[in-house]
């Protein structure tokens, strides 16, 4: 009887150790993922703000022709749009398409001259939608 109790206690101890290790590993993974997501999302927002600034400067640079301005706007957004693919790796699958669409719409708002200055009023709502996706994932 004492042997059965000792063996049972030993098995429960091992089971507890394995469960604790698995839980600790999962917790560490979630922490790592949250930290990496934060870094990736922050870097994307930095690229987007830089692109917006550079594109706005190009749009109002009267020393360039319209075609050159359009090229500069596209070039300004290229790093952010390229990095959006990295961001998608950290987003849930159901949010990736929405995020890509918002990033493209943000760029399109800046490059659509027909909207005039009203495009600058629509950009904050696109940025807010991107921010909300990021916040849901953190």
115: confidence class by pLDDT, cuts 50, 70, 90? low
Please report the DSSP string for 8-30 in residue order.
HHHHHHHHHHHHHHHHHHHHHHH
In the prediction, which pLDDT does 96 show? 95
Tokens of 129: 């939608």
Sign of the Cα torsion 25, 30, 35, 36 reads: positive
- Give the global pTM: 0.80
More reliable by pLDDT, 95 or 122: 95
Domain positions in the chain: 33-137
Quote the CA–CA distance of 84 and 8 in Å, as a whole number.
53
In the prediction, which pLDDT does 3 show? 82
Are 49 and 123 in contact by the 8 Å Cβ rule? The answer is no
Tokens of 100: 């890509």
pLDDT, tens digit, 9 for 90 and up, residues 9-58: 777 777 877 777 777 788 888 899 899 999 999 999 999 999 999 988 88
């Amino acid at each position: 009887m004492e042997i059965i109790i000792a063996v049972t206690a030993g098995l429960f101890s091992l089971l507890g150790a394995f469960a604790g290790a698995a839980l600790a590993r999962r917790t560490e993974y979630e922490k790592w993922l949250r930290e990496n997501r934060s870094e990736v999302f922050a870097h994307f927002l930095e690229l987007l703000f830089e692109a917006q600034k550079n594109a706005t400067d190009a749009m109002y640079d009267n020393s360039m022709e319209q075609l050159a301005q359009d090229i500069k706007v596209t070039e300004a957004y290229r790093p952010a749009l390229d990095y959006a693919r990295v961001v998608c790796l950290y987003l849930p699958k159901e949010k990736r398409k929405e995020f890509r669409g918002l990033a493209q719409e943000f760029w399109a708002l800046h490059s659509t001259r027909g909207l005039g200055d009203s495009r600058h009023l629509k950009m904050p709502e696109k940025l807010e939608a991107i921010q909300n996706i990021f916040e849901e994932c953190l």
